[in-house]
Structure 1
Amino acid sequence: MFRIAIAVLFVLHGLIHFFGFVKAYRLADIPQLVQPISQPVGLLWLAAGLLCWVAAGALFFAPRWWWVVGAGAVVVSQAVIFSSWGDASMGTVANVVLLGAAAYGFASRGPLSLRSEFEHNLKRARPAVSSAAGKLIVESDLASVPDPVRRYIRRSGAVGQPPVTDFRATLTGRMRSAPDSAWMTFTADQLDLVDTPQRFFMMNARMKGLPVDVLHAFDDDGATMRVRLLSMRSIVDAKGAELTQAETVTLFNDLCCLAPGALLSPNISWEPIDDHRATAHFTLGANTITAQLRFDDLGDLIDFVADGRGAISADGHTVTPERWSTPLCDYAQVGPARVATRADVKWHPDAGAWTYGEFQLTSLAYNVANRAQVGEPETNGFPRDHIVAPHRGIRAWIANHRLVSFFILAYAISWTLWGIAALGAGQVVFILGGLGPLASALIVTRLSGRSVRAWIHSLLVWRVPLGYYAIALLLPAAIYAVVNLVLVALGQALDFSLLAVAAPGYLGTFFMVATVGGGLEEPGWRGFALTGLQKRKTPLVATLLVGLAWGIWHIPLYGPLGFVVPLILAFFYTWLYNRTGSILICLLLHASFTPAQNFLTIAVDPASARPAARPVGNAADLVVLGVYVAAALALTLATRGRLGYKGTPADG
């Protein structure tokens, strides 16, 4: 949430800076800015706004270095605020917040951070070249393990699969430091190597609302554990033989729970106990740890108990050995393996056992250490052998009704903010209302468990043939050329001098729509809704549904008939999106249509020398509507209803 909140603040802060550029170049009247702004300074206002937007994007696409751009944005922003202090002094408050965020960004993602060290460890981690490379696990390989372990390995699906050399997992859950302590929520990312045993585990937790970074590193040099509050204040810094012993237990637990096929490792010796239990001895160098594995009647591992894992003492530097167990449940198929997706983690002191952690597996991949390792836990470059754990409650409903949730939220956000703006809250609140579809798509993507980063990345496709840029910029002008010709045929006259008069307004409107206006609707309507609907419906039906929803969304702005024009224009957007896959192209089309509607009708009534097109209700509006309909119908017929869709259309 911190990242999203700071990104939103950067976007809004950037929007406000664009007003300084607009005032400097007289693209619109900005009454809130009283002091004059020269055009060179106006360019600095524009630069500050763009840097704010780049910083917002870098939070998701370059998280390791976003703080550099963010700090630069704050510096330029504060410079222009000083130049218009009387009008813009309150912007300093936002800059102080953003500068603090950039400082935290340096601490949490910069070169001295635990996250940076974790990513460095991932880059250098390489599995050993195994003599079993290219081979598969076969039934005869199971002969050396006890019966319950053999059933567990079979049940996991490891037989017939390549041996596991390494695995990467992401988890969520909560932890606490004592039976009476408050729970801390966390997300975690880890990489384990099997044949050259190593384990790197990065956790981001929340303690009383404050971020806590935790890094476990275990390799040939032994184990270390470091914990930092706010990514800066060290509260745990442990290492030594006792911690290495404890991490050996943890590594073996990872093998048992997440990579059952790795239990055939020559580093493990077994002692059968009965049909439901077996004792394992796991040796790494000078350390040998012992654990008891317990299985149910079906053959699933249901508990892991070991005495050699130690708890961090109150001083944050030493380790106290204690019995440790991990009851397991909720087995699910994860790519080639069937593993538990939920586990409790318990200490067993003399005073009685208590649960200190609850873990839920959110993704898992095998044999990835020789692929791209560094990335956010949401994407990680994993192959498709992963799992996204099920949601519960409202998140489960949203995950199962993503499109319905999107439309409900888009209407709720936009209509609420527009209502507040109508009561006198001002232009900024009105502009924020237009961001409802974008905000709704982000919220639904996040709450349904999808990758926000991957979705945003899909919106930034720009490498398309130049001809499509020309279409996005010129199609509305071509349509209005036809509108003007029809009006001439109906007795009107063309007044080309209107083009020169309208040029500044056209360009100003284009810029405003592309940066702070209707163009920002496109990630929601096309990037989310249309994409989702075309997986279930034909392009024609999907376009009608999106167009209708898009049109209804406009009713508070344009009245009961406000849905008609968006419903028709949706056909052009669908075709352009399907041909290019680019939301940026759709944004340009949107930014071109709005000023075309406002300024490109140059047919005038000869009797009054006034433009023929006036507000809704006269004959010229019917001509515009008729040309729209004819063009949309021609496009639909020319594409045989596919509207540029390249896949196999759905049946519905």
Structure 2
Amino acid sequence: MKYVIIIIIFIHGLIHLLGFVKGFGFMEVKELTLPISKSVGIVWLVAAILILGYGISFMVNSKYSWLLGFLAVVISQILIILFWKDAKFGTIPNIIILTISVIAFGYYNFQRLVQQETIHLLSQNQTFEKRIITENDIQHLPLPVKNWINHSGVIGKPYIYLGRVLQKAEMKMKPEQENWMNATAIQYTTIEIPAFIWTVDVKMNNFLKFQGRDKFENGKGEMLIKIHSLINVVNEKGDKLDEGTIQRYLGEMVWFPSLALSPYINWEPIDSLTAKATMAYKGTSGSGTFYFNPEGDFIKFSAMRYMGNNPDAKRYEWVLLVDELKSFEGIKVPSKMTATWKLDTKDWTWLKLEITDIKYNENASR
């Protein structure tokens, strides 16, 4: 589809050159019956250059393509109105360019918002003392958690204060949805000052995409979802979302094992392979249970989370299951997982997640 649009844009731009050709009398253009002066011919040339320039910027996915698109449409459409009898059908490609430019402008603004929030989050995590994790640091933890930390390979490595996680995923937005939607995401997580920001691009079909941003900061959660980065379909804050977000932060500890040492987390042993963690931070608290196998691998996380943020939202069991483990920077973590809601009528697996890369500390901020 993109290549068809590019061809239409280039043909549209080349057609504008006919106005320049006629204005300067280089050749007869029978399709343009109205007279065109040299000065107006130059305007036709400018419009052609802008449209062709937009076509190139659209082809290479320039983040500023929307700017060329807006300029091209304004000048082109003025000419089309002035020469309506001959050029009226040029309005159709202009509508296409305008539509794409509006979407690109929305995406640009969304990415700028996320970038500003990410810079703010990272700026608060630059001055912490670098230290090495030792056996003494984990002695107070429940046995299965100690075994997991030892098995993950973080002993003798620097304490993790920042992580960047690249993900690809398949998602379902409703329990009755049949088809999976492909997604890519990036997340920054900070440990000393608990926070994360997660942004995702989801392809719903060949024509519709949505962008999302989940955030946890100062003990508060936020969820923002926009169709083509323009139209809000979700913009949520509130106590129930705060609790669910801190539970998610807890569950994602498995990518950052040294988070288990956080002073905001209290551990309770359940048995030799299970432990419960409760995190309390700035007025928000949440709990979850971690399950491990005898070898020390993390295999499952379970929490009773609110499904939704509306007043009548109910708690359901939310389960993360590990399908595969992988080492990143020498630390063994889950690389493939599923997320499932245990509903009253059935289990709803809404997420299949694959970690494609993790960077820690200085490497995460590059």
TM-score, normalization: structure 1?
0.49
Q: Which letter maps to 1:154?
A: N
Residue 265 (str. 1) matches residue 262 (str. 2): yes
Residue 320 (str. 1) matches residue 308 (str. 2): no
After superposition, the Cα gap between the structure-2 partners of 1:340 and 1:85, relative to the gap in structure 1 and judged at 3 Å, is same
CA distance in 2: counterparts of 1:281 and 1:19, whole angstroms:
71
> Of 334, 337, 346, which aligns to 1:343?
337
Residue 240 (str. 1) matches residue 238 (str. 2): yes
Q: Please, what is the CA RMSD of the aligned residues?
A: 3.3
CA distance in 2: counterparts of 1:325 and 1:218, whole angstroms:
20
CA distance in 2: counterparts of 1:11 and 1:24, whole angstroms:
21
| Secondary structure of the structure 2 residue equivalent to 1:322 | strand
After superposition, the Cα gap between the structure-2 partners of 1:207 and 1:304, relative to the gap in structure 1 and judged at 3 Å, is same
CA distance in 2: counterparts of 1:148 and 1:31, whole angstroms:
82
Match in the other structure for 1:55: 54
CA distance in 2: counterparts of 1:14 and 1:197, whole angstroms:
52
> Of 127, 132, 138, which aligns to 2:134?
138
Match in the other structure for 1:172: 168
After superposition, the Cα gap between the structure-2 partners of 1:194 and 1:97, relative to the gap in structure 1 and judged at 3 Å, is same
Higher helix share: 1
Match in the other structure for 1:91: 90
TM-score, normalization: structure 2?
0.83
- Pairing 1:69-108 to 2, within 5 Å after superposition: 69-82=68-81, 85=84, 88-108=87-107
CA distance in 1: counterparts of 2:105 and 2:236, whole angstroms:
24
Match in the other structure for 1:479: none
Match in the other structure for 2:327: 333
Q: Is the 8 A contact 2:218 2:282 kept in 1?
A: no
After superposition, the Cα gap between the structure-2 partners of 1:317 and 1:187, relative to the gap in structure 1 and judged at 3 Å, is farther
Residue 119 (str. 1) matches residue 119 (str. 2): no
Q: Is the 8 A contact 1:7 1:55 kept in 2?
A: no
Residue 300 (str. 1) matches residue 297 (str. 2): yes
CA distance in 2: counterparts of 1:267 and 1:26, whole angstroms:
78
Q: Is the 8 A contact 2:336 2:354 kept in 1?
A: yes
RCO comparison, higher one (Cα < 8 Å, 6+): 2
Residue 71 of structure 1: CA displacement? 0.9
- Pairing 1:17-416 to 2, within 5 Å after superposition: 17-18=16-17, 21=20, 38-56=37-55, 58=57, 63=63, 65-82=64-81, 85=84, 88-110=87-109, 113=110, 115-125=111-121, 126-128=123-125, 133-182=129-178, 183-207=180-204, 209-220=207-218, 222-256=220-254, 258-307=255-304, 309-312=305-308, 319-367=313-361, 371=365, 382=366
User: Which segment drifts farther, 134-143 or 35-44?
Assistant: 35-44
CA distance in 2: counterparts of 1:318 and 1:7, whole angstroms:
48
Higher strand share: 2
CA distance in 1: counterparts of 2:356 and 2:38, whole angstroms:
52
Q: Is the 8 A contact 2:219 2:281 kept in 1?
A: no
Q: Which letter maps to 1:75?
A: V
Residue 348 of structure 1: CA displacement? 1.3
Deviations 1:556-609 (A, max 9, x none): xxxxxxxxxxxxxxxxxxxxxxxxxxxxxxxxxxxxxxxxxxxxxxxxxxxxxx
Deviations 1:131-178 (A, max 9, x none): 5x2322234333333343334333433233322212222322232243
CA distance in 2: counterparts of 1:67 and 1:318, whole angstroms:
42
| Secondary structure of the structure 1 residue equivalent to 2:323 | strand
CA distance in 1: counterparts of 2:114 and 2:124, whole angstroms:
17
Q: Which letter maps to 1:117?
A: L
CA distance in 1: counterparts of 2:167 and 2:277, whole angstroms:
26
User: Which segment drifts farther, 7-16 or 271-280?
Assistant: 7-16
Residue 292 of structure 1: CA displacement? 1.4
Which runs of 5 or more structure 2 residues have no equivalent in the other structure?
none
After superposition, the Cα gap between the structure-2 partners of 1:22 and 1:343, relative to the gap in structure 1 and judged at 3 Å, is farther
Q: Is the 8 A contact 1:294 1:301 kept in 2?
A: yes
| Secondary structure of the structure 2 residue equivalent to 1:327 | strand
CA distance in 2: counterparts of 1:331 and 1:162, whole angstroms:
21
CA distance in 2: counterparts of 1:237 and 1:68, whole angstroms:
27
Q: Which letter maps to 2:132?
A: L
CA distance in 1: counterparts of 2:336 and 2:73, whole angstroms:
43
Aligned residues between the structures: 361
CA distance in 1: counterparts of 2:4 and 2:298, whole angstroms:
41
Match in the other structure for 1:492: none
Q: Which letter maps to 2:48?
A: G
CA distance in 2: counterparts of 1:151 and 1:295, whole angstroms:
9
Residue 368 of structure 1: CA displacement? 5.6
